[in-house]
Structure 1
Amino acid sequence: MMQDHDSAAAPLLQVSGLAKHFRVKAGLFGHATVKAVDGLNFHIRQGETYALVGESGCGKSTTGRALLRLTEPTAGAAMFDGRDIFKLSGGQLREWRRDAQMVFQDPLSSLDPKRRIAYSVEEPLIIHKVGDAAQRRKRVAELLERVGLSREHLSRFPHEFSGGQRQRIGIAKALALQPRLIICDEPVSALDVSIQSQILNLLMDLQSEHGLAYLFIAHDLGVVRHVADRIGVMYLGHIVEEADTDTLFSEPRHPYTQSLLASIPPAHPRLKTPRPILAGDIPSPMNPPSGCVFRTRCPHAMPRCAREAPPVRQLSPTQRVACHLFD
């Protein structure tokens, strides 16, 4: 985690009003709109880790995929170096995909099971016509060694590696084009706890070396605590609270954030948390609650919450929250 950001520095990525809606079948003849992401605003600075956290189904991964244009956004803008990446096409879109890469939850999804690892890591260099064959082979070997593997692994296939090793290969592949932004979509959630810390340390080391910016997507606040500079808490397509990491953990304001923190196992089994643990399931994005989308699970819900969606309020220079409790 990079600790010394200049708060006045211009963002590397500025996301405004990002929405992604899906039209799906509902019943025999009808259709419904699923608002997977509904009006996100956030920014990421160079060398910073911004984490999006929330339960499964809240729209975190859809956000990452929309930013890479793996799925086309419904509305919004995303400015990167003065360009709206949602308006890019052709060569400009190709250039954006050099600047931004993704590390997936399941690295097998980005590795061809029929190809040796050497080709999988080299593939982005081939697609973008970087160097000649000898230069690419040299680059691939260096990348593999940098992520903790050896040149002997180049001739192996994906199924011959452990989950942690495959994730290292996925990181090497993401680094191949020297991107400025990497979207990490649940990069450690499928790994054993002991391996998780190794991968997180590797990501932090690479960030320090290359000045990388990360959008780190996770469902577990405990995982992002030591890697994120700032955290956006997502619920049903909305960011309900955003703060720097220290503030979010010491002074969580939104009831949902408080509940997520309460679900983190205490450091000692005899310690108890005074915060309420979240009950019930997240509502369907096909039929979200009126007003505040969190009200059906909120211990502080008021009649007003059913009528009005709470506006985002800036509580301090580093913390904002969408909750009627803070009028």
Structure 2
Amino acid sequence: MDDHNFGTRNKRGDWAPNGHIEVAPFWAWPPKLMTVLKWLPEYVWPWNAFHMATALLYWFYVVPEVAVMKTLSWGWPLWLYAVNAGAIFVFYGSVELLFYVKRKQGNRFKYNAKFPGEQPSDVFWFKSQNIDNFLRSFFISIPLWTLVEVVFLWVFANGWVPWLSWADNPYYLAFLVAVAPMIHEVHFFFIHRLIHWGPLYRWIHSVHHNSVNPSPWSSLSMHPVEGFLYHAVAFWHLVIPSNPIVAMFQLHIAGFGAVNGHIGFDKLEITEETPLDTHAYAHYLHHKYFEVNYGGDGLIPLDKWFGTWHDGTKDGDVQMQARFQKKKERMNAKTARANS
């Protein structure tokens, strides 16, 4: 495909899509029913449908019997870790192999024209972003993903929180499934905003932001504190009446879904004429500019409400720079008062 039909490339070779990122259409006023109805299939397919499919596969073929999960031991948690690690290796690894190793589509639709393997740096283990990100994912974040998974399954199995059945609560649980991506976005925004605070950023979140030019292995490359907080979104289903399948879906939106914001391509060419939209641009702009788009791509427009939204346009750049200038002026004024 010709990516010039969908966007433009600057002098450095970096590509940006035409148009702008829009928040979910149900926030528009007055409401536009037809726009919402056209958007709904995109909300479900393919990504959220994939996460629900993996949650169901786990529940029926991976998760142990309830009697087993009532007791903590080494066996079943290690089994879950092996499955999680294997699934991420296949899922993320397939994208990495096709689009970063074999470079199936070159740098068409790639936001940053360069590939991480071309940019060694001392900030990474072994000076390699790929090795660093891979090791952090498999030896830090995926174990923490598994820890969260084991805890909520153990709690449900012991009956310490309500376990609602699908037979008795089909509409309520379907509603929880529908809003799970929204729960993820709200949870992610607030923990993400927290760890951008100066000391926490330097101690915790800077590890993830070392990957300015993210790739699939960057998705779960995190400090342990961030890795735990990020996957702990599933614990909301221990607070609200829920079902372990919905909690698993919530966890998979975080675990498998982390790749969306880090693929680095706006579209993946599944076939020559079949592009798959990644919805990666909003989070790519966060990696590029650091202080914008702390949430997702506008499902719950917290960034817009808190003034940190960047829609990928020149106007977005202007608004961002104006905010940075005001921040700089406040810091200069504070310094001046401290020195007076």
TM-score band, normalised by the shorter chain?
under 0.3
